[in-house]
Structure 1
Amino acid sequence: MYAARAEIVGNVWRLHAQEGDHVAAGDLVAVLETMKMEIPVLAGESGTVRLHVREGQIVQEGDVIAEIA
């Protein structure tokens, strides 16, 4: 299992993957927004997505955005 984590404090601006979607390594899972910058969150491995956040949620550095298994 791979945990896609927030690299910075920010707002979950957009989810590109939905619960149960299959993604490949390197696919865009979500975009965080902070100080008018967009930070991509990518899948580190292939698998099925289990989301831990919703759009508009504020996340802290290290928070899990999604698990991919």
Structure 2
Amino acid sequence: MANLISPMTGKVLEINIKVGQEITDEDAELFIIEAMKMENTVSGVVGTVKEIKANVGDIVHEDDVIAIIE
């Protein structure tokens, strides 16, 4: 099991995954987080989405777990 970690503090603009979804591309844009008026892509994991711990509009902090991927 892998935790998807927010690389920065910012506002969640998009969530491009759903619970149960299989992620096969490590470069897939899973989340978009806005920080300092820039949109940043969160990616880098493969597996099945078990839980999404953030919602669009949430403020997340650096190192927060935003999803659990198995």
TM-score, normalisation: structure 1: 0.87
- Give aligned-pair identity as a percent: 28
Q: What's the counterpart of residue 29 of structure 2?
A: 28
The answer to whether the aligner puts 1:55 opposite 2:56 as a matched pair is yes
- What's the Cα RMSD here? 1.4
**CA offsets 1:22-59 (integer angstroms, 9 cap, x no match):** 11241221110011111111142222341000000000
- Equivalent runs, 1:29-44 vs 2, <5 Å: 29-44=30-45
Q: Does 1:15 align with 2:26?
A: no
Count of residues in Structure 1 that have an aligned counterpart in Structure 2 = 69
Structure 2 unaligned segments of length 5 or more: list them: none
Q: Is the 8 A contact 2:20 2:48 kept in 1?
A: no
- Given that 2:49 and 2:67 are in contact with CA atoms closer than 8 Å, whether structure 1 keeps it comes out as no
Task: Identify the residue that residue 64 of structure 1 maps to in structure 2.
Answer: 65
